[in-house]
Amino acid sequence: MVIMLRVFVVAIFVTLVVCVTKAIGEPICYAKEKKDATNVIVTRVNCNRDTEKYDSDLLKMFTSEEKFSITELLLDRTDDGMAFDQWEQTGQPESTISSTDVPPTTLQLTPNTEIPSKFVFVLLSLGCTGNTLVEIYIGTISTQRGAVGRIFFPLIDIPDVIFTLGPGEGKFFTLPDTVVPKNYDFYKTLNTTVIVEADVTVSVYGHVQCNKGLTNRRRATASRIIPVRDLSSEYWVNLWWKVGVSQLGIVATEEGTTEISLSFKGSSSNFSIHQYETYYLGGSFSITGMHIVADKLLYVVACNLQENAISDKNGRDGICETLEPVSNWGNDFSLVPFPRMELVFENYGLEVFSAEDDTVITLLGKVVSNYSMSRGEARFIEIPKEVNNSFDLISSKPILLAQFSGRLSMIYVPSLSSCDRKKEIMFPVWGFGNKGERMFLNIWVSPGVSPSSIELNNKTHTDWKIIGEDYEGNVIFQKSLLEVSHTIKFRNGDALLAIVYGTVEKLSYAFPLW
């Protein structure tokens, strides 16, 4: 099997040239708090790599082969998650709860019970030449209920992190940079999988950035992590590539061995990986068009270490995005240009990928364009910088649509019909630590919603800007934001879709909110 895989991979290349606290003593994780300009508390929980400081017997409980769930991980929460009395009265928790506030002995892990919220994923490298910042954000999806859960690393010796979230709360967690691979072999098996579990539904987002330094490369990316319940066993890769190193990470999420078939440009190979292992493929070629089929659920991420989508004038940045499974593709999309830096105007692009023959896509805007596509075809459409209005894209069959800026940002644009309308949204915004950074939120809201009916962090704001409207009449608002965990609530109406953008000189990111 290994020999066959080596032949297949070489052929492609030739063709393409808990916080556990230690039982007694100091914790290995600690929380840092700061306030942003709006006095909103930002909590970051950091975990060092001093693995000799925790109780090995306690850690075995979390990493044993027996399947555990945290359905009963409730800390005497007889009030259905509303044990935070002060939160209801003041809008703030009694205190910012870090992972070190939760004694591991109070957790009730019930074997063989379905986990309400689970994420199994891998974070890939941006090729930083200095230190790498690796963070994830975990947030509740409701202001009516909190969450308890853990972050753990099933195949590497990093302590678990137990976390608690109040209703409507989100936290940033800084992970050891050992969870990001440091080399870019053509193919290998990685053991750096990260797992997040919680007793209620939560959202998870990931962020990787080369820390600022004279000798470090300037790259950053952020992406949404798809929960296990929304994963699938079939994927097509759609990733912009002109130069740089493409990367693909495929994670086996289910028990036992997962059989995988990988097809590309007329060649194919079958191989297997064990639960939580990651099959990694990297090389200086385009991986768009790879077809991945398995007998169990997979998590798949695609990256490009250094790229600029449209022009080379502004240097290189990296992109990493969680691939959308074929079952999540859609037919109707609303598009607006990515927010731009002051006095910087660039073309941007769309790359449409079709999994079926006779797929017809139509761009609706000032100019109507039609394209016919075949199975496995990727079509790049460059949008001139002069087109600064919103427009729609409709497809006769489900497609995977990627949007790129020239700086570089990339997102897989969610189909409008695949989005659920939401009265509340909790989400992160990452800064870059650089002067001149700008972060934005674009949000598609139901007709008739006004800025006075939108609460951002318990306040209304008058600086929402209307930037467009989709074909169903949803209005697209935009607002600049600061680095913090945010909460949006609607007094009337709701939101269909939201996208976060961040940009500064030579760095940018974008990701959709779900």
Tell me the DSSP string of 459-488.
Answer: EE-S--EEEEE-TT--EEEEEEE-SEEEEE
Phi-psi region of 338 (alpha: psi -120 to 50; beta: other; left: phi over 0): beta
- Residue 427: phi, psi to the nearest 5? -160, 160
Residues 6+ apart with CB under 8 A from 449: 475, 490, 492, 493, 494
Give, for 85, the enclosing helix (H) or strand (E): helix 85-90
Where is pLDDT greater, at 473 or 36?
473
Rg of the chain in Å (alpha carbons): 22
- Between 397 and 318, where is the model more confident? 397
Residue whose token pair is 């409701």? 142
Backbone angles phi, psi at 110, to 5 degrees: -100, 115
Q: What is the pLDDT of residue 65?
A: 34
pLDDT at 185: 63
In this structure, the chain runs to a length of 514
| 454-470 pLDDT, tens digit each | 999 999 999 999 999 99
* pLDDT tens-digit readout, 124-138: 988 777 788 899 999
Give backbone dihedrals phi and psi of 486, rounded to 5 degrees, phi first: -115, 155
Residue 14 gets which letter from DSSP? H
pTM, to two decimals: 0.78
Higher pLDDT, 299 or 265: 299
Share of the chain above pLDDT 70, in %: 71
| CB contact at 8 A, 509 and 430 | yes
Cβ atoms within 10 Å of 233's Cβ, excluding its own: 17
What integer is the mean pLDDT of 36-45?
Answer: 40
Residue 382: per-residue pLDDT: 84
H helical segments located in 326-461: none
Using pLDDT thresholds of 50, 70 and 90, give the confidence band for residue 366.
Answer: low
Count of CB atoms situated within 10 Å of the CB of 76: 8
DSSP string, 286-344: --TT-EEEEEEEEEEEEEEEEE-SS-STT--EEEEEEPPPGGG-EEEEEE-PPP--TT-
Q: What is the pLDDT of residue 369?
A: 84
Name the average pLDDT for the chain.
76
Contacts 24+ apart (CB under 8 A), 27-32: 27/99, 27/100, 28/53, 28/54, 28/159, 29/98, 29/99, 29/100, 29/159, 29/161, 30/98, 30/100, 31/96, 31/98, 31/99, 31/100
Contact 151/98 with Cβ under 8 angstroms? no
Across the range 385-395, mean pLDDT stands at 85
pLDDT-derived band at 384 (thresholds 50, 70, 90) equals confident
pLDDT at residue 251 is higher than 50: yes
Supply the pLDDT for residue 396: 96
CA distance 327 to 337: 27
